Structure 1
Amino acid sequence: MPKHILSEEEAERVLNVADVTSALGIRDRAILETFYSTGIRRTEMINLQVHDIDADRGTLMVRQGKGSRDRLIPIGDRALAWIAKYLNEVRHKIVLADDQGTLFLVVTGDAFSPRSLGLMVADYIKRSGVNKSGSCHLFRHTMATLMLENGADVRFVQVMLGHAQLTSTQVYTQVAIRALKEIHTATHPARLERREDVKKIEDSMPNRLLKRVYGKEKQS
């Protein structure tokens, strides 16, 4: 089971740490947005090529992922917008003359190493103050869990993550149901006397989950 999962609000806090007034901040925001949107693995991010992004179709091609399998997956408009900003304003300033086509580059014009990318993402998570440990895989866990909470079919999430077996993806259904189990425990007729517990849980729930469970949003 994933040890930590970011809520939607926590994920946004991490994304917003990047200083997008700087070139490297724009690059880092594009990387974080891509992790959040697609849930790809760290090595898959490192190996992305410029031509693997199809902005017109809204897709990202993962080549030779785990098990040497290719997969074509969707990527969100916001992530695409940050990638476009990085390509238009940053990449051409750091790419080497012998451009190998790698999408995300370090300041020397080389591709990220797994360690350097992991440390970069972990630093943003730490600086956000969300008090949850993790790095690139934290966004993978978060993407899968939030999609399932919002009603995505587990088989679609399986394709997104590149899992060969559905059982590998089903672990996230156990994580996604935790919030619903808390509501069931607090609101089932056998527990109706625990109204203060219900109020605490409702207050901690994001509006999207409140609306899904109760058909209502928080009152201001």
Structure 2
Amino acid sequence: MPEYYDKSMRALQLAGLSKSTQEAYTRFVTQLFNFYAKEPYLLSEGQVEDFFLHGIHERGWSKSTIRISHYGIRFYFQNVLKRNYPLFSYLKAGIERKLPCILSTEEVSRILQHVTTHHNYAFFHQVYSCGLRISEGANIQISDIDSDRMMLRPQRKRSQGSLCAST
């Protein structure tokens, strides 16, 4: 492995980052250095900026790819090369907001047909028909039922110490 790779991995390990984060950050550092075919210490801020612009405009990086590459390259330059380019303070990538996948009524029916136990069927039917999160359905308490208005009002957070938390 090249020297910059070893230095990057050592610094990331010392920072206590997870193995997958270490690999992702180092992958983008490697892409940057391969893009210019130069040693890391020879790259200017303008070249780093051009690399990001190339990724955004030519390669069509998603916002999450931009964010991970930014963090990885910034970490390397600031912690290994001891360079703090102004680019790192203004390079931003917003957060992608993706809508969840919504199942059709037919898809839900097909799924429920494969549930074999009555209590599991009741649970999944309740979660789907009430539009609950799995964790909300799993934590439903009798106190969540408003029988006068025929409503279910699940509580998002329960206190850790009791089985039945009142509202």
TM-score with structure 2 setting the length: 0.32
TM-score with structure 1 setting the length: 0.25
For CA contacts below 8 A with separation 6 or more, give which structure has more relative contact order: 1
Rg (Cα) greater in structure: 2
